[in-house]
């Protein structure tokens, strides 16, 4: 019995909540058959203990199995949850990675674009720099011009004064020019008068008169006058009449009064309107008497206001031409001064001499 007890103590058990381990301690050395016989009760004990242990184990298992199953389920659920979370996390991470990749790609594209823009900007910077240089040069030129302008502005008051003086001088010059023009015209007129006077034309009351020395019929006399840009004289006032008879001194001269048409009304050959009541005072008393009904032209025959007599037009007597004060249109002026008078180059007619020539030919 003592040896059996020793055999039982050789076996070692360990039981915990979940696992059961059974292992022998150091294997006991094989004994001779009689020893085996001595260990048989120990084996029984061991078997019993083992059986008890198994029973306990199974009981424990029976008791603990549902709990274990529950825990296993919990663990499975937890694992599933973790799996789900992991999958979700994986999906999320994939999505995020994809987004990040896209962003990275975008960033690369943007970097490329920025690089391109940077290159373009550099070119523009160079252009702007060149333009800036140009602008700077222009600004300097403008500054210089501005300074010149300011200098000119400073001169404006002086220039205004000069302008005012110039205006006054211009007015004076204009006045002088007009005076000169008037003087020129006056000189031209005087020169013309002198020239006419040299040709025996007398100036009176603004008109020129030529008292012929030769005798002609009334028509020939008128024809001669027209060659001198004149007509046989008209008489338009007592003053003129007085001038004429005083120069004529009683010598008969044709004047430009004649009858026209069958009515025999009086008419001035130079176109002056004949006014009966104005001219009646110049007729000799009893005239016009139309002696022989053939007296259609008029002579100035007496040295008095009443000096007119009607006479036969064919009769040859001296005559008086008259023309206006102004030089004819063919006369040439320069700055109001007469340069040339047509009378000096007048066409000479057969039998009719220029007044100056006539004077030289016929005057005593």
- The answer for residues whose C-beta is within 8 angstroms of residue 348's C-beta and 6 or more apart is 354, 357
Q: Identify which of residues 188 and 298 has a Cβ nearer to ligand BGC in the complex.
A: 298
Residue 292 CB, shortest distance to ligand BGC, in Å, is 8
Beta bridge partners of 268: 257
Residue 359 CB, shortest distance to Ca ion, in Å, is 30
Residue 215 CB, shortest distance to ligand BGC, in Å, is 15
Taken in order 246, 250, 251, 256, is the CA torsion positive or negative?
Answer: positive
Q: Identify which of residues 234 and 309 has a Cβ nearer to ligand BGC in the complex.
A: 309
- The answer for residues whose C-beta is within 8 angstroms of residue 270's C-beta and 6 or more apart is 231, 232, 233, 234, 256, 322
Helix, strand, coil tally for the chain in percent (to 5): 60, 15, 25
Which residue among 282, 310, 321, 358 contacts Ca ion (CB under 5 A)? 310
Residue 250 CB, shortest distance to ligand BGC, in Å, is 14
Q: Identify which of residues 42 and 309 has a Cβ nearer to Ca ion in the complex.
A: 309
Which residue among 198, 289, 344, 357 contacts Ca ion (CB under 5 A)? 289
**257 lies in the binding site for Ca ion (CB under 5 A):** no
349 SS3 class: strand
Residue 247 CB, shortest distance to Ca ion, in Å, is 22
For 58, phi then psi, to 5°, come to: -65, -40
- The answer for residues whose C-beta is within 8 angstroms of residue 83's C-beta and 6 or more apart is none
Of 13-21, 81-89, 132-140, 282-290, the window that binds Ca ion (rule: CB under 5 A) is: 282-290
Of 30-38, 142-150, 200-208, 294-302, the window that binds Ca ion (rule: CB under 5 A) is: 294-302
Q: Identify which of residues 204 and 283 has a Cβ nearer to ligand BGC in the complex.
A: 283
Q: Which of 189, 261, 258 is nearest to 225 (CA)?
A: 258
Q: Which of 343, 358, 311, 1 is nearest to 193 (CA)?
A: 343
* Contacting residues toward ligand BGC, per CB under 6 A: 287, 289, 291, 295, 309, 311
Residue 299 CB, shortest distance to Ca ion, in Å, is 9
Q: Identify which of residues 94 and 289 has a Cβ nearer to ligand BGC in the complex.
A: 289
- Interacting residues with Ca ion (CB under 5 A): 289, 295, 309-310
């Amino acid at each position: 019995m003592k040896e059996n007890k020793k055999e039982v103590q050789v076996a070692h058990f360990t039981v915990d909540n979940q696992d059961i381990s059974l292992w022998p301690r150091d294997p006991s050395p094989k004994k001779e058959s009689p020893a085996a016989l001595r260990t048989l009760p120990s084996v029984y004990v061991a078997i019993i203990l083992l059986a008890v242990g198994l029973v306990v184990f199974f009981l424990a298992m029976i008791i603990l199995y549902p709990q274990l199953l529950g825990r296993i389920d919990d663990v499975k659920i937890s694992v599933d949850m973790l799996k789900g979370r992991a999958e979700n996390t994986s999906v999320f991470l994939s999505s995020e990675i994809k987004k990040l990749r896209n962003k990275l790609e975008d960033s690369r594209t943007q970097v490329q674009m920025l690089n391109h823009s940077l290159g373009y900007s550099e070119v523009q910077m160079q252009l702007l720099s060149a333009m800036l240089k140009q602008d700077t040069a222009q600004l300097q030129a403008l500054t210089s011009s501005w300074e010149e302008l300011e200098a000119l502005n400073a001169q404006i008051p002086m220039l205004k004064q000069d302008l005012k003086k110039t205006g006054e001088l211009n007015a004076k010059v204009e006045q002088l020019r007009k005076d000169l023009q008037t003087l020129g015209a006056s000189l031209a007129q005087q020169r013309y008068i002198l020239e006419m006077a040299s040709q025996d034309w007398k100036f009176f009351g603004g008109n020129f008169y030529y008292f012929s020395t030769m005798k002609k019929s009334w028509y020939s006399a008128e024809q001669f006058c027209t060659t001198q840009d004149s007509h046989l004289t008209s008489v338009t006032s007592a003053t003129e009449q007085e001038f004429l008879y005083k120069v004529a001194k009683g010598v008969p001269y044709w004047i430009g009064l004649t009858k026209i048409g069958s009515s025999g009304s009086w008419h001035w050959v130079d176109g002056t309107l004949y006014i009966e009541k104005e001219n009646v005072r110049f007729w000799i008393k009893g005239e016009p008497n139309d002696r022989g009904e053939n007296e259609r032209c008029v002579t100035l025959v007496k040295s008095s206001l009443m000096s007119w007599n009607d006479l036969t037009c064919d009769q040859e007597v001296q005559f008086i031409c008259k023309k206006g004060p102004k030089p004819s249109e063919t006369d040439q002026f320069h700055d109001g001064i007469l340069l040339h008078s047509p009378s000096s180059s007048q066409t000479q007619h057969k039998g009719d001499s220029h007044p100056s020539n006539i004077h030289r030919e016929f005057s005593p």
